[in-house]
Structure formats: structure tokens, C-alpha cells
Amino acid sequence: MAEGKGAGREGGSVKRLIASLLLASTPAMAPAQAVSGPMSVDQSRLAAARALLDTMQIDRTLDSMFVQLAPNFATSVIGSMLTSEAGKPVVEQLIAKGTGGQPRLQQILADEFLTSISRQYPALKDKVAQEYATALTIDELTAINRFYTSGPGAKFLLVSPGLQQKLTLTGQSLGRVAGEEAGMRGIDRAIKEMLPAVPKAEEKKAQ
């Protein structure tokens, strides 16, 4: 996977764009497929967009995003196979008798996901460049690139990976708290709203 400086606020927008272009958040998440063919855009704007993406170290942004998605992919594959008549005995055997059990199986699947998705980077980067070239003028693309290659912009790219990691950990922690609270409140509300009320007479009999 690529090394280098990560993208910050602009990197966040890249992640959202990539997610909308490439990923479908379904219970059984499938490996990403190659993106569609090139759009008709001005070549000078496309070149400026590609230069901007190089400055922003988009490979690092992609690495960060997909490393986080890989465990979810592995879990989804295992879950899907466990519901399949053909896949269930294979997965159960690997988990029960395979060296390393389920953790090793998940790691192998996650590794293969990252290997496969990295092969899609060139096509994905082309698609992102096309979208940028369509949305921004060449002057705007050049100005943004200039910002990220000097002064505060360059420093922002330098410190962004660490900031993003801290924010991700914070978000995960708060998400767990919110998830536990929402789960308990949701079940309690569902019982009250979805189940019929027990008549007073029957309630007294039960007591």
C-alpha cells in the first residue's frame, strides 16, 4: 500500500466521493468492482485535477479508508457464507479445525480485500480526477494545488493523518456509547409501540 502524507479536510471529501462512487453499504459487502469508463472532460482540467490528487497523496487516503473497511468486509463474507448451504460447512470447518480459527480466517479475507482493492486504485483515481475536473475550473484546481504545496496547506497535509486517526478513535468510542443507549431505548420503545397493551383484567389475573 502507498506511503506518504495524508489528506485532511480535503481528504475527507475525497473519502465521501470515493464511497459514493465505489461502495454500497449492504449487509453482505461485496469486493469493489472497477469503476465506469471515462467521462468527456477538458484534458487540461483533467491534468490539473490529477496533479491535485497527487499533491493530496490520495493513495494514502485510499489506504486509510480501505484498511478500516477490510475487517467489515471479512465479517460480511463469513456471515454470508454461514447462511449459504454450500458455504456454511466450509466456514465452520475453517473456524473449528483451521489453524488460528476465525480470527485467522478474518485476517486472510481482509488481506485479500486490500490486495484486490489496491489493484483498482488507478481506475478509481481516474474517476475521482474526472469528477474534480467536471466540478472545478482549471484556475480553481491550480489554486487549491498551490495551497497544498506551500505554507499552512503543506503543514495541514503533514499533520492530518494523526488528526484523522485521533478523530476516528474518538468517533468509534462515542459510537459505541450511542449504540448501547440507542439499542436499549429502541427495544423499550418498540415493546411499548408495537406490542398490544395488556387489558387491565388480564393484567390483574397474571398478578
Tell me the per-residue pLDDT of 38-94, one tens digit each, with 9 for 90 and over. Answer: 556 789 999 999 999 999 988 888 888 888 889 989 999 999 899 988 889 999 999
Q: Kindly tell me if the per-residue pLDDT of 14 is higher than 70.
A: no
Taking 90 as the threshold, does the pLDDT of residue 17 lie above it?
A: no
Please check whether residue 110 is in contact with residue 73, taking contact to mean a CB–CB distance below 8 angstroms.
yes
Mean pLDDT of the chain: 80
Q: How would residue 23 be classed by pLDDT, with cut points 50, 70 and 90?
A: very low
Instruction: Give the residue with greater pLDDT, 165 vs 9.
Output: 165
The rounded distance, in Å, linking the Cα atoms of 164 and 34 is 27
Q: What was the pLDDT predicted at 49? A: 95
pTM: 0.62
Ramachandran angles phi, psi of 76, nearest 5°:
-65, -40
Place of cell 479475507: 109
Which one-letter DSSP state was computed for residue 28? S
Closest to 24 in 3D by CA, of 57, 73, 58 = 73
**Amino acid at the residue 71:** P
Q: Is the pLDDT of residue 199 over 80?
A: no
Instruction: Indicate whether 113 pLDDT > 70.
Output: yes
CB 53 within 8 A of CB 146: no
Residues in Cβ contact with 110 at an 8 Å cutoff, skipping those fewer than 6 apart: 70, 71, 73, 74
Minimal CA–CA distance to 13: which of 21, 5, 1? 21
pLDDT at 146: 94
CA distances from 104 to 37, 94, 98, 101, 188 (A): 37, 9, 9, 6, 37
pLDDT (0 to 100) of residue 123: 93
